[in-house]
Amino acid sequence: MTDTYDIIRSVLTGSFLVPEAELGPEATLEQLEPDSLALAEFALILDERLGVKIEAEHATRTTTLAEVTEYVDTLRASDTVTAP
């Protein structure tokens, strides 16, 4: 169990002002704002917080929070393995 899901939730509520009540594992990134800029900003913030490079196809409007969490967890785990 990691803190990824909680961090993603806090990014959405803190930086994108998405109401807490609207966020659940099955919620999609559509709630950010319907423009491509917001999705790129979301990926940038996660990079700053967690040091992970998110490919655009893993953070689209239809991606759910559960899917992003799983993907970011994979990236974080592989970073841990390859770290010197």
Partner 1 sequence: MTKPRCSTIRRVAVHVPADRQTGTEIEDEVRSRNPGVRLMPGILRQMYGFEERRVAPPGSWPSDLAVAAGRRALDQAGLGPDAVDLLIYASVSEDVEEPATAHVVAYKLGVTAPVFDVQNACNGVLNALEIADALIRAGRYTRVLVTTGELGSRLSALPVRDRGELALLLPALTLGDLGAALLVEASDRPGIRAAVFCANSSSWPAATVANPYFGPSAPAPAVRFDSAALAASFPGLEARAFEALHAAGRKPEDLDLVCVHQPSVAFTRTILDSLDVPEDKAVPVFTAYGNVATAGLPLQLAQAARRGRLRPGDLVALFGLASGASGGLVLLEWSP
Interface residue list for partner 1 (CB under 8 A): 35-37, 40-41, 43-44, 47, 56
- Return the number of the residue (40 or 77) whose C-beta is nearest partner 1: 40
Q: Which two tokens stand for residue 73?
A: 């967890």
Q: Closest CB to partner 1 among 26 and 55? A: 55
Backbone phi and psi for residue 27, each to the nearest 5 degrees, phi listed first: -65, 150
Two tokens at 34?
């319907």
CB of 40 to partner 1, least distance (A): 5
C-beta closer to partner 1: residue 56 or 77: 56
Minimum CB–partner distance for residue 43 and partner 1 (Å): 6
Find all residues with CB under 8 Å of 59, minimum gap 6, and list them: 29, 39, 42, 43, 68
